[in-house]
Structure 1
Amino acid sequence: MRSTVVFSADITVASAQNFATILSNMVSQKYTHLTIGINSTGGGVQPGVFLHNLLISMPMEITTHNIGNVDSIANVVFLGGSHRRSCHSSTFMFHGVGFDLSGNVRMEEKNLTELLDSVNADHDRISRIISSRTELAVEDCRQLFSQQKTRGAEWALENGMVHEICDFSMPSDGSGFVFTGALG
């Protein structure tokens, strides 16, 4: 069986868990191929790496297709596809890992050092994932985090992020659906 899912959601713990449930159900139903059309502004590193590892572990062929924006950690999720496509007008945005602080937060040298260590560890981890699934060297991947920059489909093809640039189409038989982060 084949299916097509449009993943149009932020990468959060909840959306990752919900998408994992969908994938688990597809395995139980013996799906052999899944096309995931991705449009995501990104989100958290941890749920993004989880989804990437889950996609590459699936006992079915998975095609990912950038159908709009694949930004930030969504690039790592996108690279979970064994075959990767992009629409001509789609983009891939990279930037450094950051963190949000809320409220009145006091930071001392120890806290800043720990946060910087965490950012560097995430940069290293994401760089290794991107390098392992593309033609980019780890050092080149690290450079992707030095400034926010958006790249097009041609760049993605030249660097092995995608294997093909083509239009996306939902199946006419109604077997596709849109995932917006929630179940139901």
Structure 2
Amino acid sequence: MPLQAGAGPEAYRAVLDSVFATEPYRWAPQSPVLRLISEGWDRLGAWIEGLKTDNPLLFRFLLVTILLAWVGIFAHAAWLIWRTVRGAARADRQVALPVAGERHDAKWYSRAADQAAAAGRLAEALQLAFVALALTLEGQGLLQYQPSKTPAECAREARLAGSDQERLRDLVRSLYSYAFGGRAIGLDDYRRWREHGAGPWHAPAH
């Protein structure tokens, strides 16, 4: 802003105020947390630069260690994803009637589930128990069950009231985690699963 000759102090003050009001001159106090992080980051950078200059061998060792740590983290994450996908695929394939072309009623599968549990085959027992539950729902007109359907498909297609729909989904999630996700299961877990599915089931209100 040009000033005319002989301008007074007020004019100079106005110019200075307009300049210091611009973005580069605006200043706000930094929070203690951000200041601590900034100072720590600066110290870390200075330490790394000093290490690079004073001890190149140790600096290279540090870089290799960090790289290996990141590789390990990504490898572990990939393994977890692979295990989850593989478990879900196995679940979709394996939870069905145990003998192709052979069909029994819900009571038969319920007895077979208890026998498998008593023999210590708890993952198999849960699969049999789910088939018993699916046939029970079919008998009540709440589900059209087919051996080729997965538990997740049964949970989606079951015609249940809201709370019962969520209960069935919870049972399916538990089945997948126990039978195919590697989650440890004991006899008490099996019994709780059976009790959770033993209550009455209701159709949605119209």
Q: Same fold (TM over 0.5)?
A: no
Q: Could you tell me the TM-score, scaled by structure 2's length?
A: 0.22
Higher helix share: 2
Higher strand share: 1
Q: Could you tell me the TM-score, scaled by structure 1's length?
A: 0.24
Structure of higher RCO (CA pairs closer than 8 Å, 6+ residues apart): 1
